[in-house]
Structure 1
């Protein structure tokens, strides 16, 4: 699999720390995860935080954020405040790809193409949400092509907000039903050969991605890929990691629950 058209981001020379998170799957039913996210964005010392997809369990359109008291309105408030203190970048995942460019710009966020090559600290790093590399899941790849098409998105967004919320719940329930009975190691996985091809084409020795919910470091025939964790602070054993990038390289750190 050849590297899709990618973007390039050059970090300012004064930056000392960049952090990556993904797969928070925030929703009205995840108050503790939402609180941990808001607290983290407010208190991190990173020069930039890049959100690599599936930050939200579902995003049904930017007009939802204008609905008074809505969950989406609370989310954009957090993002707007965070962007006043540091660079916040957003890359769409398979759950929140309908968060639009105009809203990101209004919030002061940097929209990220998938994939993007970062240059910082004299290093190159390829970042992606990760779903494009799950080549064995042909059903998902067909679904992804459908919902990323302009025609599908225009038709979906033309519907009333209440109907879109209903359809999103139905799709989410269908996804959960399909995964029920499966352990995370049975979910679709990134193709290592394709990942190595991407890295070689990008001339980058490391990749960071999410999507699979399998935090780990994988050595490839060219370079390595580091996988972000999902977040779940509703669980009996809360979890949520970030990857921190400095001049010393990449390191994994646990995120603390909100006090």
Structure 2
């Protein structure tokens, strides 16, 4: 049975805007310099009026205090994102890897935070934006984990630990996640009934999300659909990076990996 539909936030944009790009699942870290470079080049050149990053911008985020070390990868990346933000508006929605991004990140980058899900309207087009992980209902262990780590008391306990302790635990958790991923024959996908319920509540026909790394278009009941974003990796083959350009007349996939 689909989970209860969460509150739906709204992103109001200027009436003269004609395009907003959506990207997700870049999983930035120090081991992926080409991916970071591609992101910065894209942000410097996109003709869109704004960009929405729908989660998993970073491979892991253990807390905003990581930015206190100016030499850290996170601090250096955020300084570069700050420069990109001076060119155009950028929004960020939490993913399953970087759900601890908070006000410190927003201050450092100038990037505004979006609730999940959020309704975006461009002209007559209404787009429902989400990271997508909350809709993968068949993955019961993950949904239990997600509920635990999104709870304020868990986050308070986590952040009370030293930065070194959190980084070590994050590495262990990532290792467990990778082992579990390889052990599963098939990852749970977005639940179609739940996606339809979210769209009905939002008064929208199209859901845009990431998380699954399976870029595609899926038909839903009642003429609705969901558009799945690409993940990014410019450091390994096959190289991949896409933006989904949402406009006043429809959506267009923009290939950014040279393929």
TM-score by length of 2: 0.95
Q: Which residue of 1 aligns with 2:69?
A: 67
What is aligned with 2:254?
A: 253
Counterpart position of 1:211: 211
* 2:239 paired residue number: 238
Q: Which residue of 2 aligns with 1:140?
A: 142
Q: Is the Cα contact below 8 Å between 1:47 and 1:87 reproduced in 2?
A: yes
**Distance in 2 of aligned mates of 1:102 and 1:144:** 22
Residue 30 of structure 1 and its aligned partner are, at CA, apart by 1.0
Q: What is residue 34 of structure 2 aligned with on the other side?
A: 32
8 Å CA contact 1:3, 1:202 repeated in 2: no
1:171 aligns with 2:161: no
The structure 2 residue matched to 1:82, chosen from 75, 81, 84, is 84
SS of corresponding position for 2:194: helix
Distance in 2 (CA, whole Å) between partners of 1:79 and 1:43 is 14
User: SS at 1:39's partner residue?
Assistant: helix
SS in 1 for 2:244: strand
C-alpha deviation, 1:163, in angstroms: 1.2
Task: Report deviation, 1:106.
Answer: 4.5
1:11-40 deviations in Å (ceiling 9; x for gaps): 201212100000111111111111111211
Q: 2 CA distance for matches of 1:38 and 1:60?
A: 23
Measure how far apart 1:153 and its partner are: 0.8
Q: Distance in 2 between matches of 1:21 and 1:120?
A: 17
CA deviation vs aligned residue, 1:154-190 (integer Å, no higher than 9, x gap): 111111111111111000011011112556xx11100
Q: Which residue of 2 aligns with 1:151?
A: 153
> SS of the counterpart of 1:178?
helix
Q: Distance in 1 between matches of 2:61 and 2:167?
A: 9
Instruction: Choose the corresponding residue for 1:23, options 17, 22, 25.
Output: 25
Tell me what 2:6 maps to.
4
How many aligned residue pairs are there? 255
What's the secondary structure of 2:44's corresponding residue?
Answer: helix
SS in 1 for 2:214: coil
Report the more deviating stretch, 137-146 or 31-40.
Answer: 31-40
In 1: Cα distance, 2:59 partner to 2:208 partner: 21
The residue that corresponds to 1:95 in the other structure is 97
Q: Is residue 189 of structure 2 the alignment partner of residue 189 of structure 1? A: yes
* CA RMSD in angstroms, aligned pairs only: 1.3
Q: Deviations over 1:81-139 (max 9, x none)?
A: 11111110000001001110243144221210000011112211101000110011110
Distance of 2:237 and 2:98 partners within structure 1: 26
> In the alignment, is the contact (CA less than 8 A) between 1:30 and 1:234 conserved in 2?
yes
Deviation of 1:77 (Å): 0.9
